[in-house]
Amino acid sequence: MREPHATGDFCIRTPGRRIVIIGNGISGITCARHIRKRDSEAHITIISGETEHFFSRTALMYIFMGHMTYAHTKPYEDWFWEKNRLHLVHDWVTSINFEQKELQLQQQEPLTYDILILALGSKPNKFDWPGQGLQGVQGLYSYQDLQMMNDNTANCQHAVVVGGGLIGVEMTEMLLSRNIPVAFLVREEGFWRSILPKEESDLVMRHLREHHVDLRLNTELKEIRDDGTGRVSAVVTTAGEEISCQFVGLAVGVQPNIDLVRNTELVVNRGILVDQHFATNIPNVFAIGDCAEYRVPVPQRQSIEQVWYTGRMHGETLAHSLTHQPVKYNPGPWFNSAKFFDIEYQTYGMVPNRWKQPVDSFYWEHADGIIAFRAVFNGEDKRLHGVNGLGLRLRHEFFDQALRENWTVEQVLVKLDQANFDPEFSDRHHREMLQAYNEQFGTNLEPEKKEKKGLLSYFWR
C-alpha cells in the first residue's frame, strides 16, 4: 500500500490548543507527558473509563497474587497529574463527532478538541465458543476483568486456561498462586510455539510442569458447559474430553479495541489505520498503542504492535511530532521480555520459531535445564539476527548496538561477558557457551579479555 502524506497540521503549535487523549494506558500517558514537557500552554485532557489514574496493566497479575495492591501499580502519584496540568476525566467516551470535533461522554458534559489522540488499547479475543458467556468464563485485560476474576475464583476447585501465550501463562500462575489447580489448554504442539523455537518452548514447559501445571498440548476448546444455573461447570475439548472446572480463563490473544470508531469516517481495518506519523485519515486525529494499525508496517515488524514498549515509543514519537517537528516512527531493533513463572525471558532482534537456510542457529542450555541462550544468524556471513535468553539477564544496550552495527554472532559471543546483566555473584556461563559454539561450529574462539582494571575491582567480579 502507498504511504500517503502526513495529514494534519500537527507540528503547528497553536497556543492553548486543546489536545484530548482517549485512553490512559502507557501510550496515551507517555504521549501526554512528553507533550507537556515541550508545550506548557496546551490544554491536555486524558479520558478513560477504566480507572481514574494510569496504572500498569502489565502488573495486573501481581495484584491478584498479592505481591502488590492496585495503588502500587500506579507509576505516578495522584498529585502528579494536577501538578503537570494533565486534566483527567474518568468516564467512557460514547461517540465522536469528527465534524464538530466533539466527544460525547457517558456521564459528563461533551468535550471539544483541536487534536484528538486515540489510545484505546485492546480487548480480549473471543471465538464464538458455545457457552463463552457463562458466569466464570472471562478474559483478562482490564482492571474490571481483574476484579471479576477475583470474584469468579472465590470458590473455585479447578480451573481451565485456554490459550498458550503470555496472558495464558500469567493467568495460570495467578490461579496457582491461590492454590487452584489449572488445566492449561494449548492448541499448538508446544507452549507459545507461534513465537518460541522448540527448545525454548520445551524448557518453559518443563518448568510449568514443575509448578504442577496440567499442560494439555494439541488441545482445542470446543464448548463450555453450564451447571444449570448459568455458571460454568466444565469444558469440552475438540478431542471430546470433558474437564470439569468452575473457572475458564480465555487467553487467546487480543484485538484492537475500536468499537468506538467503527462505522465512522475514520478508516479502520483490524485497528485504526495510521501512517508513519500515527496520523489517521482525518486531520488532527491520531492513533497510537495497541489500537493502531500501520498502513505500511515498519520492515520486520507487525502491522499491529501490542506490547508495552511499542506503546511507549508511539507516545514518545507522536509527542515529538506534535511539539517539535514531525518524525516518522522508526523503532530500533526489536526487543521484548516476559516471565514464565520463575524463568525470565528476554529477546533482542528477530528470533523466529522456525527457520531455514541460510539462517542458522546456536543454542546452548545449562545442565540444570532452566537457563538457555540462543543466537540466530545468517549462516553465510554470520551476521546476528537476534538472541533469546531464558533464565539469563542480557544487557539491552549491548544487543541494541550489536544489532544496529550488524555484528556477527562470533563478535557477540566473545564479548558475552559484557552482555551479562545477571546479579552480582551469579554463576557465569559465557565461557561454557563459547565452548559449545566452538564445538558446534568448529571454531576456536577465545573470550575477549577485558582491559585490566584496578586491583580492587576484582573483589566483586
Partner 1 sequence: MKAIQKLGLGIFLLALLLFNALLFMGQFRLTEAQLQESVKQEHVEVLRQELQPMLGETYSSSFSFATDFNRLLDNYNEEQQRSQQWDRVIWDDYAFALARVASQGFVENNKLLLLFLTIIVGAAGALLYILPQYRGEPAGVKNNGVMFSSNKSRGVVGITIGVYLTAIYVLLYWYPEYIVNWALLVDPLSYTLSGGPASQWFLYGTIYTLAILVMGVRMFRKYKGNNYQLLRTASVMFFQLSFAFLIPEILVVLNLPWYDLKNIWPLDYDFFFEYSVASMLGSGSAGLFLFIWGILLIIVAVPLFTYFYGKRWYCSWVCGCGGLAETAGDPYRHLSDKSLKAWKVERWMVYPILVIITVITLLTIANYFTEFALLKQSTDMLHQWYGFLIGAAFAGVVGVGFYPLMGNRVWCRFGCPLAAYIGIVQRYKSRFRITTNGGQCISCGNCSTYCEMGIDVRWYAQRGQNIVRASCVGCGICASVCPRGVLKLENGPEQGRITDIPFLTGNESIKVLN
Q: Does 11 engage in binding with partner 1 (CB under 8 A)?
A: no
- Taking residues 46 to 65 in sequence order and writing x for each that binds partner 1 by CB under 8 A, - otherwise, the string is ----------x-xx--xx-x
Q: Does 301 engage in binding with partner 1 (CB under 8 A)?
A: no
- Residue 304 CB, shortest distance to ligand FAD, in Å, is 10
Q: Quick one: which H or E segment has residue 326?
A: none
Q: Quick one: which H or E segment has residue 42?
A: none
Q: Does 173 engage in binding with ligand FAD (CB under 6 A)?
A: no
Q: Does 32 engage in binding with ligand FAD (CB under 6 A)?
A: no
CB 21 within 8 A of CB 44: yes
Q: Does 197 engage in binding with ligand FAD (CB under 6 A)?
A: no
Q: Does 319 engage in binding with ligand FAD (CB under 6 A)?
A: no
Nearer to partner 1, 131 or 386 (CB): 386
Per CB under 8 A, the list member of 105, 148, 217, 327 interacting with partner 1 is 327
Q: Does 60 engage in binding with ligand FAD (CB under 6 A)?
A: yes
Q: Does 158 engage in binding with partner 1 (CB under 8 A)?
A: no
Nearer to ligand FAD, 107 or 238 (CB): 107
Per CB under 6 A, the list member of 62, 70, 98, 309 interacting with ligand FAD is 309
Q: Does 249 engage in binding with ligand FAD (CB under 6 A)?
A: no
DSSP at 290: G
DSSP at 426: P
Binds 185: which of partner 1, ligand FAD, none (CB < 5-8 Å by kind): none
Q: Does 92 engage in binding with ligand FAD (CB under 6 A)?
A: yes
CB 19 within 8 A of CB 115: yes
Grid cell 516476559 is found at 338
Nearer to ligand FAD, 156 or 291 (CB): 291
Pairing of β 159-162 and β 247-250 = parallel
Calpha distance 7→281 (Å, rounded): 7
Per CB under 8 A, the list member of 91, 220, 417, 422 interacting with partner 1 is 422
The greatest distance separating any two alpha carbons of the chain, rounded to the nearest whole angstrom, comes to 74
DSSP at 449: P
- Residue 251 CB, shortest distance to ligand FAD, in Å, is 9
Binds 144: which of partner 1, ligand FAD, none (CB < 5-8 Å by kind): none
Per CB under 6 A, the list member of 70, 76, 308, 441 interacting with ligand FAD is 308
Nearest to 144 by CA among 31, 273, 59, 49: 49
Nearer to partner 1, 99 or 427 (CB): 427
Per CB under 8 A, the list member of 228, 357, 425, 439 interacting with partner 1 is 425
**Sites for partner 1 among residues 176-195 (CB under 8 A):** 177
**Sites for ligand FAD among residues 133-152 (CB under 6 A):** 140-141
CA distances in angstroms from 297 to 229, 275, 288, 355, listed in the order given? 47, 9, 14, 22
Calpha distance 262→5 (Å, rounded): 23
Q: Does 143 engage in binding with partner 1 (CB under 8 A)?
A: no
Nearer to partner 1, 62 or 441 (CB): 62
Q: Does 68 engage in binding with partner 1 (CB under 8 A)?
A: yes
Buried b (16+ CB within 10 A) or exposed e, 93-130: beebebeebebebeeeeebebebbbbbbbbbbeeeebe
- β-sheet bridge partners, residue 96: 103
C-alpha grid cell, residue 172: 495460570
Please tell me the total number of residues recorded for the chain in this structure: 461
C-alpha grid cell, residue 154: 472465590
The four Cα atoms 89, 90, 91, 95 give a dihedral, to 10 degrees, of: 40
Q: Which stretch binds ligand FAD (CB under 6 A): 188-196, 304-312, 376-384, 443-451?
A: 304-312
CB 225 within 8 A of CB 233: yes
Per CB under 6 A, the list member of 20, 22, 115, 205 interacting with ligand FAD is 22
Binds 327: which of partner 1, ligand FAD, none (CB < 5-8 Å by kind): partner 1
- In three state form, how does the secondary structure of 65-124 look? CCCCCHHHHCCCCCHHHHHCCEEEEECCEEEEECCCCEEEECCCCCEECCEEEECCCEEE
Q: Side by side, which strands form the sheet with 93-97?
A: 93-97, 102-105, 111-112
Per CB under 8 A, the list member of 16, 67, 189, 381 interacting with partner 1 is 67
Which positions lie near ligand FAD, rule CB under 6 A?
22-28, 47-50, 57-58, 60, 92-93, 119-122, 140-141, 167, 170, 257, 260, 289-290, 306-309, 311, 338
Which positions lie near partner 1, rule CB under 8 A?
26, 56, 58-59, 62-63, 65-69, 72-75, 77, 177, 207, 210-211, 308-309, 312-313, 316-317, 320, 324-325, 327-333, 335, 337, 339, 341-342, 344, 346, 370, 393-397, 400, 421-427, 456-457, 459-460
